[in-house]
């Protein structure tokens, strides 16, 4: 199989961790007789420096012409004083919209080898957890009408939450399809006791659930979900929720795994082309120092193999290599205790040895 992959290295540690994932994909190509063609494009701060905008048309066109896209990270203090529509982070919303990516998959798993890094009580961590958050990505309050106006107490700002039935139906189906390949358990997160959008969300999710009689579907209010994630995370299999709730809950889930440097993500639409990236930021304070943990990006590449190219065996090969590295006690600084941490390049090399 031959695959064309767009590389968006971005800013900070982005180039380092994307290069690690490329090395892993090349190794997979050698082992399984695949050809990966990589084409780099500018995004974020690096694009601003080169051409004055965070998301050049060439980047959008290149991503749309590719079979899939691998992204590092964008942003940094260098560009913090730019107007909102010119900041590096604006490129993330732009590329998701251009690629029509409305589903964000964020797995959160507590690796047994990292159980001591979990901030939860030992008896809770001992149960482990392996959950998948399915977040709606292109609707809700992040994309609704917003602005300033004169209100009861003078100047006020407003942001509008809107969801259509179609938007809810398609993200619900994505969640139920994912659950069919896992433990067949979906928990839908909303705030239906207060919000009209959540009432439509709950009603629509229940309608879609009827199409999947094998899957258990329950509802949970978002405030309770935030508590349950730290009280009993093992109860969750697939979580489906709105853009803002998913943003918050997935970050909470990332922290109870022990390190945000371990978590991958996939953003998908109606085609097999997707955008794959670690959930952490650009970490400019350690950029270029060979200290970044490349595992989240490497696992994002594994998700790409699974979801974009249906290469399950190859994806599992990468995931098992990561498991073995952790079992063998090899750690980057973010997951190390005391001395003995390895750098980005060394961790990548250790994973390559186990593929």
What pLDDT, on a 0 to 100 scale, did the predictor assign at position 54?
96
- How do residues 156-191 score in pLDDT, each as one tens digit? 999 999 999 999 999 999 999 999 999 999 999 999
Catalytic residue among 130, 219, 251, 323: 251
DSSP string, 127-189: T--EEEEEEE-SSGGGTS-EEEEEETTEEEEEE-----HHHHHHHHHHHHHHHHTTTSEEEEE
Please state whether 239 falls in left (phi above 0), alpha (psi between -120 and 50) or beta.
beta
Q: Is 142 a catalytic residue?
A: yes
Continuous segment of H or E residues that includes residue 246: helix 243-255
Average pLDDT over residues 86-115: 92
What pLDDT, on a 0 to 100 scale, did the predictor assign at position 348?
98
| Separation in Å, CA 334 to CA 153, 337, 339 | 46, 9, 12
Range from 123-132, 204-213, 256-265 carrying the lowest mean pLDDT:
256-265
Neighbours of 288 (CB within 10 A): 11
Q: Is 251 a catalytic residue?
A: yes
* Tokens 């180039």, located at residue: 15
Average pLDDT over residues 297-314: 96
What pLDDT, on a 0 to 100 scale, did the predictor assign at position 117?
85
**Helix %, strand %, coil % for the chain, to 5?**
45, 20, 30
| Separation in Å, CA 272 to CA 199, 254, 293, 306 | 31, 26, 28, 10
- How do residues 25-69 score in pLDDT, each as one tens digit? 999 999 999 999 999 999 999 999 999 999 999 999 999 999 999
Catalytic residue among 67, 190, 247, 334: 247
To the nearest whole percent, how much of the chain has pLDDT over 90? 87
Q: Is 181 a catalytic residue?
A: no
Nearest residue to 295 (alpha-carbon basis) of 16, 3, 11: 16
Quote the pTM value.
0.91
Catalytic residue among 32, 78, 142, 345: 142
Catalytic residue among 191, 212, 291, 307: 191
Residue 165's φ and ψ, nearest 5 degrees, are -60, -40
Confidence of residue 259 (pLDDT cuts 50, 70, 90): confident
- What one-character DSSP code corresponds to residue 44? T
Neighbours of 54 (CB within 10 A): 28
Structural domains in the chain, CATH included, are 1-106+260-355 (3.40.718.10), 119-256 (3.40.718.10)
Residue 93 has pLDDT above 90, yes or no: no
- How do residues 268-280 score in pLDDT, each as one tens digit? 999 889 999 999 9
What pLDDT, on a 0 to 100 scale, did the predictor assign at position 283?
95
Q: Is 247 a catalytic residue?
A: yes
128 contacts: CB under 8 Å, gap ≥ 6:
110, 112, 115, 234
Continuous segment of H or E residues that includes residue 223: helix 222-231
What pLDDT, on a 0 to 100 scale, did the predictor assign at position 285?
95
Catalytic residue among 223, 231, 285, 328: 223
- How do residues 192-227 score in pLDDT, each as one tens digit? 999 999 999 999 999 999 999 999 999 999 999 999
């Amino acid at each position: 199989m031959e695959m064309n992959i767009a590389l968006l290295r971005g800013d900070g540690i982005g180039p380092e961790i994307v290069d690690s994932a490329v090395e892993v994909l090349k190794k997979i190509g050698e082992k399984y007789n695949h050809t990966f063609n990589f084409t780099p494009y500018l995004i974020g701060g690096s694009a601003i420096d080169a051409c004055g905008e965070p998301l050049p048309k060439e980047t959008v066109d290149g991503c749309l012409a590719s079979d899939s896209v691998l992204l590092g990270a964008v942003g940094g203090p260098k560009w913090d004083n730019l107007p909102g529509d010119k900041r590096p982070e604006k490129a993330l919303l732009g590329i998701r919209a251009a690629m029509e990516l409305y589903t964000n998959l964020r797995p959160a798993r507590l690796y047994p080898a990292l159980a001591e890094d979990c901030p939860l009580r030992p008896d809770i961590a001992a149960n482990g957890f392996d959950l998948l958050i399915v977040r709606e990505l292109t609707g809700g309050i992040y994309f609704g009408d917003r602005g300033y106006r004169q209100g009861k107490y003078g100047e006020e700002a407003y942001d509008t939450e809107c969801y259509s039935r179609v938007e809810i139906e398609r993200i619900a189906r994505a969640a139920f399809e994912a659950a069919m390949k896992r433990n067949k358990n979906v928990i839908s997160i909303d705030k239906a006791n207060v919000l009209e959008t959540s009432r439509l969300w709950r009603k629509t999710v229940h309608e879609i659930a009827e199409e999947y009689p094998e899957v258990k579907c329950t509802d949970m209010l978002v405030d309770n979900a935030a508590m349950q994630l730290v009280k009993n995370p093992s109860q969750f299999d697939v979580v489906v929720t709105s853009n803002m709730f998913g943003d918050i809950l997935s970050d909470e889930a990332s922290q109870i795994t022990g390190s945000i440097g371990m978590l991958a993500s996939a953003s998908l639409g109606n085609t097999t082309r997707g955008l794959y990236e670690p959930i952490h930021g650009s970490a400019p304070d350690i950029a270029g120092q060979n200290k970044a943990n490349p595992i989240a990006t490497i696992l994002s590449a594994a998700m790409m193999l699974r979801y974009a190219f249906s290469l399950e065996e190859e994806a599992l090969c990468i995931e098992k290599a990561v498991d073995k590295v952790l079992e063998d006690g090899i750690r980057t600084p973010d997951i190390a205790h005391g001395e003995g941490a390895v750098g980005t390049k060394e961790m990548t090399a250790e994973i390559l040895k186990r593929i």
